[in-house]
């Protein structure tokens, strides 16, 4: 599936940030993932290990996934509602003319890194 390429893109974004901050290690990556992306948590975990286990910057790090509930708006009555991946109809009027407001996002919420000197104040 597309998890491997998604993860590769995420690592490509995190690595320069970690380097800029003089990280010796990335210890944790937290992702916000809309469930409409159809990303599978188990596959992400598995692929993440494959991609990172031989990389000293990432080895032993943790991938945390927050799955976000999708929201849609009904074109017919204006109702905004949350739903799961399979139920897109308006709960108020039953219309299927709805627009997805959120649920396809996949973004890095935060990263945690180790740096050689945690305290570096004058």
Q: How many residues bind Zn ion (CB under 5 A)?
A: 8
In the set 95, 96, 102, 115, which binds Zn ion (CB under 5 A)? 95
Interaction of residue 79 with Zn ion, rule CB under 5 A? yes
Contact window for Zn ion (CB under 5 A) among 7-15, 38-46, 57-65, 91-99: 91-99
Nearer to Zn ion, 19 or 92 (CB): 92
SS3 per residue for the chain? CCHHHHHHHHHHHHHHHHHHCCCCEEEEEEEEEEHHHCCCHHHHHHHHHHHHCCCCCCCCCEEEEEEECCEEEECCCCCEEECCCCCCCCCCCCCCCEEEEECCCEEEEEEEEECCCCCCCC
Contact flag: residue 80 with Zn ion (CB under 5 A): no
14 binds Zn ion (CB under 5 A): no
Q: How far is the CB of 77 from Zn ion (least distance, A)?
A: 3
Q: Which stretch binds Zn ion (CB under 5 A): 17-25, 29-37, 68-76, 103-111?
A: 68-76
What six digits make up the tokens of 40? 């599978």
Interface with Zn ion (CB under 5 A): 74, 76-77, 79, 90, 92-93, 95
């Amino acid at each position: 599936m597309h998890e491997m390429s998604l993860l590769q893109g995420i690592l490509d974004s995190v690595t320069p940030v970690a380097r800029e901050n003089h990280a010796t290690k990335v210890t944790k990556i937290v992702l916000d993932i809309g469930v409409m992306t159809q990303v599978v948590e188990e596959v992400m975990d598995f692929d993440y290990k494959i991609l990172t286990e031989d990389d000293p910057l990432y080895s032993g790090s943790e991938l945390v996934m927050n799955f976000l509930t999708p929201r849609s708006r009904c074109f017919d009555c204006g109702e905004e509602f949350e739903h799961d991946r399979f139920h897109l109809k308006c709960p108020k009027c039953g219309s299927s003319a709805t627009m997805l407001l959120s649920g396809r996002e996949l973004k890095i919420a935060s990263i945690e890194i180790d740096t050689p000197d945690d305290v570096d104040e004058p």
